[in-house]
Chains A and B, each alone.
Chain A
Amino acid sequence: KNEVEQSPQNLTAQEGEFITINCSYSVGISALHWLQQHPGGGIVSLFMLSSGKKKHGRLIATINIQEKHSSLHITASHPRDSAVYICAVWVHYGGSQGNLIFGKGTKLSVKP
Chain B
Amino acid sequence: DTGVSQDPRHKITKRGQNVTFRCDPISEHNRLYWYRQTLGQGPEFLTYFQNEAQLEKSRLLSDRFSAERPKGSFSTLEIQRTEQGDSAMYLCASRAVVTEAFFGQGTRLTVV
What band does the interface of chain B fall in when counting residues whose beta carbon is under 8 Å from A? 20 to 34
- Interface hub of B33, B44, B50, B93 (most chain A Cβ within 10 A): B93
Cβ–Cβ contact B48 & A97, under 8 A: yes
A interface size (C-beta, 8 A): 22
Which residue of B is nearest A90, CB measured?
Answer: B101
CB of B34 to closest CB in A, whole Å: 10
Residues of A close to B105: CB separation below 8 A = 41-42
- Is the C-beta of A48 less than 8 angstroms from some C-beta in chain B? yes
Secondary structure at the A interface, as helix, strand, loop or mixed, is strand
Cβ–Cβ contact A45 & B41, under 8 A: no
Cβ–Cβ contact A45 & B89, under 8 A: no
- Is the C-beta of A96 less than 8 angstroms from some C-beta in chain B? yes
- Interface hub of A31, A41, A88, A102 (most chain B Cβ within 10 A): A41
Cβ–Cβ contact B100 & A99, under 8 A: no
A-B pair count, CB < 8 Å, reads: 59
Cβ–Cβ contact B89 & A33, under 8 A: no
In Å, the complex CA distance between A3 and B91 comes to 20
Residues of A close to B102: CB separation below 8 A = 45
Binary interface encoding of chain B residues 30-52 relative to chain A, with 1 for a CB under 8 A from any of its CBs, else 0:
01010100001111110010100
In Å, the complex CA distance between A9 and B44 comes to 18
- In the complex where A33-B100, A45-B101, A48-B100 touch, is A101 in contact with B106 (Cβ < 8 A)? no
Residues of A close to B33: CB separation below 8 A = 99-100
In Å, the complex CA distance between A47 and B103 comes to 13
Mind listing 29 A-B residue pairs with CB under 8 Å?
A33-B100, A35-B103, A41-B9, A41-B89, A41-B105, A41-B106, A41-B108, A42-B103, A42-B105, A43-B43, A43-B106, A44-B103, A45-B101, A47-B100, A86-B43, A88-B43, A96-B56, A97-B31, A97-B50, A97-B55, A99-B48, A100-B35, A100-B93, A100-B101, A102-B35, A102-B43, A104-B41, A104-B42, A105-B41
